[in-house]
Amino acid sequence: MGAMRSRLPLAEQRDEVECRRCGVVCQKVIHPQRCMEQGCPFLYAYEAFGHKYAGCLQGVFGVAIDVEHLTRARKRRNGFGAIRAVREPLPMCKTEIEATYTSRSDETGCVNPEFGELPVGEPTFRVFAQIKTS
């Protein structure tokens, strides 16, 4: 059953960090400010060039952030803001779906609603029978 689960097309959609199936380009973004606030065990820091930088050990976001800028931005009303996820976010990550060209959407709505709606983990359905064709 585990091998079958990895071949399901919806599982592949859930693991995508960007969707370009229509003119509206959507991508998953992460909030590194939340990583600091919740004390994420995958957040690391290092010093270089007289500054302290933070990053994600799991590679959810692929940039190193100047901790001083992050700390100052946390005090502002809007906070630090979001950065693009380069890997499927972990369950504890605060993420959002950001749409770039919303004016390009049509009246039918999103052509790939599973991109943002499927939960992390197991699919929301269970295969209980298979039909064999000869």
pLDDT value at position 8?
A: 44
Average pLDDT over the chain, rounded to an integer: 76
- Asked if residue 47 has pLDDT above 90, the reply is yes
Give Cα separations from 18 to 15, 47, 73, 86, 109 (angstroms).
9, 31, 26, 9, 17
Per-residue pLDDT tens over the stretch 1-45:
444 444 444 444 456 788 887 878 888 999 888 888 888 889 999
What is 4-40 written as a DSSP string? HHHH-HHHHHHH-SEE-SSSS-EEEEE-HHHHHHTT-
Assessment of whether the complete model's pTM goes beyond 0.85: no
